[in-house]
Amino acid sequence: SQQGEEDPQALSIQEGENATMNCSYKTSINNLQWYRQNSGRGLVHLILIRSNEREKHSGRLRVTLDTSKKSSSLLITASRAADTASYFCATDEIGSEYGNKLVFGAGTILRVKS
């Protein structure tokens, strides 16, 4: 990965449990986003957190950002079988003028067993 590691690489949990995924990045960023990808399909945007924010919620999702540690976590509460997918964090770097390219982490494969 260009960016850093995602932790864990794979996670298997029971339906109803919480899932926590972590991501680290290397550069100074404007924003950090989380995406979901079902097997071999498109990327679905989940949530964006700005560099001056520390925590953000959206439904069953909670994202934290620690810019001092260059890390973020995604918490999915009360998981469902339909949450089974790969989850990627992506950052856009400070300094890009036109169209900030996204740098993706390696992804966490989440499997929710029913």
Partner 1 sequence: AAGVIQSPRHLIKEKRETATLKCYPIPRHDTVYWYQQGPGQDPQFLISFYEKMQSDKGSIPDRFSAQQFSDYHSELNMSSLELGDSALYFCASSAGGRPYEQYFGPGTRLTVT
Sites of contact with partner 1 (CB under 8 A): 1-3, 30-31, 33, 35, 40-45, 48, 88, 90, 92, 96-107
Which C-beta is closer to partner 1: that of 26 or that of 101?
101
What would the two tokens of residue 66 be? 């620690």
105, 1 Cβ separation under 8 angstroms: yes
Residue 28 CB, nearest approach to partner 1 (Å): 14
Rounded-to-integer distance, Cα 80 and Cα 71, Å: 25
Which residue number, 57 or 101, has a Cβ lying nearer to partner 1?
Answer: 101
Give the shortest CB-35-to-partner 1 separation in angstroms: 8
Instruction: Compare residues 69 and 98 and give the one whose CB is closer to partner 1.
Output: 98
Q: For the chain, state the CA radius of gyration.
A: 14
Q: Are 70 and 26 in contact (CB under 8 A)?
A: yes
